[in-house]
Amino acid sequence: MSADVSRRIVILRHAKADWPDDVADHDRPLAERGRRDAPAAGRWLAASGIVPDLTLCSTAARTRETWKLVVHELPQRPRTVYEERLYEASLGELIAVVNEVPDDVVDLMLVGHNPGMHAMADALAGEAEEDARNRLDHIGFPTSAAAVVSFTGSWKSVELGTGRLEAHWAPHD
């Protein structure tokens, strides 16, 4: 596939998690609100015509549970890889993971955690649709929020400021 193809990264923060006693952070489940919001994120993606070719999902319980609820709303299930490096990943680590994606993938989804997901959406967007930028700046990146960043080139070329923030969505705005 040509490296000058238009690509999209869908950046999704996990849904609202619970804080049960005696449960390690990595193993925290979704809260009731999270179990309601995650399917709404999936419906927004489906209505927007966004179905990733590949989803990279953190191995944390709350991200896996979020993805399971989101993907149920999509018209088809993309290939999914549970990626340990997405748990507590810094912006640099997230970009390094994206740079490894094979170029046969056109639309990629990352399901992960803040502050990394917000930083990724903000940092990649050298340009932005005005409404999407205003929403990202005003609302931030609450649980179940999604951002869509487009760019042209190979995944190896993704770096700060190379994309365009096309859309931003959150369940409670």
Domain extents in the chain: 6-169
**Mean local confidence (pLDDT), 41-50:** 96
Is 62 annotated for ligand binding?
A: yes
Full 3-state SS string of the chain = CCCCCEEEEEEEECCCECCCCCCCHHHCCECHHHHHHHHHHHHHHHHCCCCCCEEEEECCHHHHHHHHHHHCCCCCCCEEEEEHHHCCCCHHHHHHHHHCCCCCCCEEEEEECCCHHHHHHHHHEEEECHHHHHHHHHHCCCCCCEEEEEEECCHHHCCCCCEEEEEEECCCC
**Mean local confidence (pLDDT), 46-73:** 97
**pLDDT at residue 1 in the model:** 52
**pLDDT at residue 71 in the model:** 97
Instruction: Please indicate whether residue 138 is annotated as part of the active site.
Output: no
**pLDDT at residue 98 in the model:** 97
Per-residue pLDDT tens for 100-153? 999 999 999 999 999 999 999 999 998 888 899 898 989 999 999 999 999 999
**pLDDT at residue 157 in the model:** 92
**pLDDT at residue 3 in the model:** 62
Instruction: Please indicate whether residue 14 is annotated as part of the active site.
Output: yes
Q: Considering 73, 88, 93, 127, which one is annotated as catalytic?
A: 88
**pLDDT at residue 173 in the model:** 64
Confidence grade of residue 172 (pLDDT, cut at 50, 70, 90)? confident
Per-residue pLDDT at 4 exceeds 90: no
Q: Considering 14, 113, 118, 168, which one is annotated as catalytic?
A: 14
Classify domain 6-169 at the CATH superfamily level: Phosphoglycerate mutase-like (3.40.50.1240)
Confidence grade of residue 2 (pLDDT, cut at 50, 70, 90)? low
Q: What percent of the chain has pLDDT over 70?
A: 98
Per-residue pLDDT at 24 exceeds 90: yes
